[in-house]
Amino acid sequence: MNAKAWTGLALATWVAGCAMAPAPAPVAIVKDGELAIPADYKSWKATLLYIQRPDAKQIREIYVNDIGAGTKPGDMFANGSVSVMEIYAAKAAADGTLEKGADGRLVKGNLAKVFVMGKNAGWGKDPAEQPANGDWVYSAFMPDGKTKAPDPIAACRTCHATNPAIGPSKDYFARYDEFLASLKK
Ligand code: HEC
């Protein structure tokens, strides 16, 4: 076979290879503020509930979808991972003292905000999306889960990226260690 024939064969093989394994369709780009709260997040099994934040007078509850729940310790979250965090006001007495339940925990008051972060291929690359947090994007909503909260998204990025306890080694996921430990149960 001459060189030209070899090239033809190689090309045919390449084309056939492409036909057998079509490239996955690119994921639509979702930017900061565009990521919606998934309607079914309350049914996600991977959770960290009753996170006590007396400093902020809050209780926070984290939900992670099944893709995110497939993460192994030391791994980064896979594309398609989504986490929703509900932020509740902690109930306080008239003098501001935080109430405690019989279990010693803060008592949930009203839902104040719902935050969401999700990652996918090519997300988080808009020049306005700074500081870079890998492929994660962020949105913040009021308790109805639909009305945008006034929280500036740049602040989400700054804290999740530059807080020494979070950052790239935890894949920007603040409760990384605790979350992965919870999955082993
Ligand atoms: C000052 C730091 C800070 C800022 C600002 C911040 N976060 Fe977080 N975030 C945290 C911490 C810490 C946690 C873990 C829960 C806790 O301890 O309160 C967390 C948890 C989360 C989680 C659950 C997954 C995880 O990382 O553990 C989501 C989702 C989230 N934040 C989204 C947001 C969004 C959206 C914004 C902006 C509107 C935001 N965060 C702003 C520090 C921050």
Domains and CATH numbers, the chain: 27-183 (3.50.70)
Full pLDDT tens readout for the chain, 185 residues: 455 555 554 544 455 555 567 777 788 999 999 999 999 999 999 999 999 999 999 999 999 999 999 999 999 999 999 999 999 999 999 999 999 999 999 999 999 999 999 999 999 999 999 999 999 999 999 999 999 999 999 999 999 999 999 999 999 999 999 999 999 76
List, in order, residues 6 or more apart from 32 with CB less than 8 Å away.
Answer: 124, 126, 128, 129, 137, 138, 139, 153, 157
Tokens 């889960």 belong to which residue? 145
- Is 71 within 8 Å of 81 (Cβ atoms)? yes
> Which H or E run includes 58?
strand 58-64
Q: Tell how far the Cα of 22 is from the centroid of ligand 1, in angstroms.
A: 37
Q: Are 120 and 78 in contact (CB under 8 A)?
A: no
CB of 140 sitting under 6 A from ligand 1: yes
pTM, to two decimals: 0.89
Residue 87 Cβ contacting ligand 1 at under 6 Å: no
Task: Give yes or no for residue 59 CB within 6 A of ligand 1.
Answer: no
**Of ligand 1's atoms, which has the minimum distance to the CA of residue 56?**
18
d(CA 48, ligand 1 centre) in Å: 13
